Structure 1
C-alpha cells in the first residue's frame, strides 16, 4: 500500500484492520453515534482538520446523534491507501472524543 493512487484489493482493505468500516461500492463507510448535535459537530471539525492535513476530503453527514463518513478516492476511481489512512484518523478522532462507531451490518 505505498502508491497513493493505486486501488486496493478487497484483501488489502480487509487486512487494513478497519473493523468499524464497511465497503459500499467504491467507498469505505462508517457511522458514529454522537448522542448530540454538538458532539457530532466537534467530531466533524476534527475530521475536517485531519482531512485538510491529508489533502483528502470525505463526504460527511451530520445529523442529531450521528455522523456518517464516506471515503473514496474519486480521482483514482475507488479505495486507495489515502482512504485507509483517513479512516484511521477518523477512528482516532472519534476515540479521543469517546464516540463509538455504529456497526450497521
Structure 2
C-alpha cells in the first residue's frame, strides 16, 4: 500500500487540535513542530528513544533536536513536500508518549 501523500493546509492541521503542535510554513516544506519540556537531559533522551521506536514501527521519521531541558520535534512528509495524515498520526503518538512519561 502506497503512503498517503495528500498534503494538508494549516487550517486542516488546526482542525486536528494537536495540543502543543504548531504549523510551520517557513522551511522548504510545511511541517508541524512541538517542543516538549523534559526538565533534564536524561528524561529527554528517554523520550527521544521512545519516539524513535514508534517512528521505526510507522516507517515515518521525525527530525528531533534533543537539548537540555527540552526536545523539539518536527514532522513533515518529505515525499509529499508537506504535512500529511502520517504526520498527524505520529504527532498523536508522540503526544501520548509525552503524557505517559508524565512530562
For normalisation by structure 2, the TM-score amounts to 0.90
1:16-65 deviation line (CA, Å, top 9, x unaligned)? 11021001110000000101100000000010011001100000000111
Partner in structure 2 of residue 95 of structure 1: 99
Residue aligning to 2:55: 51
Query: Within 2, Cα distance between the matches of 1:62 and 1:9?
Result: 28
What is the distance in 1 between the residues matched to 2:33 and 2:10?
Answer: 14
Which position in structure 2 is the counterpart of 1:22?
22
| TM-score, normalization by structure 1 | 0.88
Over the residues paired in the alignment, what is the CA RMSD in angstroms?
1.0
Shift of 1:4: 1.7
State the partner residue of 2:90. 86
